[in-house]
Amino acid sequence: MSRQVQDAYIVAASRTPIGKAPKGSLRHVRPDDLLIHAIRHALAQVPALDPATIEDAIVGCAIPEAEQGLNVARLSVLLAGLPESVGGVTVNRFCASGLTALAMAADRIRVGEAEVMIAAGTESMSMVPMMGNRPSMNPRLFDGDANVGIAYGMGLTAEKVAQQWKVSRQAQDEFALASHTKALAAQRAGEFDDEIRPIEITRHTPDLASGDVCVDTHTMALDEGPREDTTLEALGRLRPAFAAPKDPTGKATGLGSVTAGNSSQTSDGAGALIVVSERILKQFSLTPLARFVSFSVRGVPPQIMGIGPKEAIPAALKVAGLGLADMDWIELNEAFAAQALAVIGDLGLDPAKVNPMGGAIALGHPLGATGAIRAATVVHALRRRKLRYGMVTMCVGTGMGAAGILERV
């Protein structure tokens, strides 16, 4: 390369609270408005930074259509009041969209092509359904066994992981309960305060009797997924939500084990980070939250897509020249308890370092926003607890895993 590789630093990280979809507090809030909120308040964390220095906004979105279509990145940048010189591009790697956006933004800086970037993600699963409004798969996916796994529902892939890695229903429910317990404890301790920017929600409700419109405004400051009433007994009473897995002969192996209670919650939310070069750090006297270290993606069989982090984590560690023992904090997206437990067990991850403040089973999983949201969690947690290395990792639909490593500086 003609330009010297340089480091990329995260100087701001903000996110909205996560709402439950499709009936939660954010169900009527547009995903572009959620993104605008996250971007504005990430910028508010670095008031000395001149917005005119921002080159581009890279935004992850898993179902980029309807209210989150039409290049939601560029539209949101303009609506957020940034200079017209700031570009915007929307990227889609399903559940790893937000993390991919961060990696792409960091890479632009690391190769010397940019000095200030926005990396973000947004998703409204209330407004845009899973698979989109008009899904249309290539019929050739169903021609044989080689590719049909791409068309599997996510829950069925989790059932196959539970079967292959021998993850019991009891273990899945215990993992789910722990997710809620950790999330509630973190909320009570105020550990999400650094990353969450409360959002004001206004509702207009017609009164048919009087003809008036009632206006109700309230502030949402916490993720609404964690449940105080969750118990192991209550989780155990939930029925399996997906088809029972079958053995190679086609015979059912018994009842499924994946339920609504040990799966991630459908959600609404957005997150945004500001990434800069070392020159910008010095020019505007900014304090970095973290340095972007490495990122890797690996493919796995689509029918067991949940095991993706098992391949991506070692790859990201190898690029960084680090080992698992170096990781102080691991945000492993809990798409399903079955796949999270399989990854933890297969790689020998330290459970105490995995999702110390709960994960997607309790906190929610707004698809394309999750990577940016969990990156915000990591950078603030590393700073708050004076830890050095953190990781964000997740499985990805169609059979992938992604992992990114951050370092507190």
Q: Quick check: 16 and 270 in contact, CB under 8 A?
A: yes
Establish whether 95 is a catalytic residue. yes
Which one of 37, 41, 380, 395 is the catalytic residue?
395
Q: How far is CA 227 from the centre of its chain?
A: 20
Map residue 381 onto helix, strand or coil.
helix
- In this structure, which amino acid lies at residue 212? D
Establish whether 214 is a catalytic residue. no
Q: How many whole angstroms separate alpha carbon 250 and alpha carbon 297?
A: 32
Question: In sequence order, which residues have a C-beta less than 8 Å from that of residue 250 and are 6 or more positions away?
Answer: none
CB atoms within 10 A of CB 283: 15
Q: How many whole angstroms separate alpha carbon 100 and alpha carbon 64?
A: 15
Q: Quick check: 378 and 392 in contact, CB under 8 A?
A: yes
Which one of 41, 61, 95, 380 is the catalytic residue?
95
Establish whether 365 is a catalytic residue. yes
- In this structure, which amino acid lies at residue 76? S
Which of 328, 307, 285, 321 shows the shortest CA–CA distance to 402?
307
Tokens 């993104």 sit on residue? 35
Q: Quick check: 55 and 117 in contact, CB under 8 A?
A: yes
Strand 56-60 relative to strand 116-124: parallel, antiparallel, unpaired?
Answer: parallel
Catalytic residues: 95, 365, 395
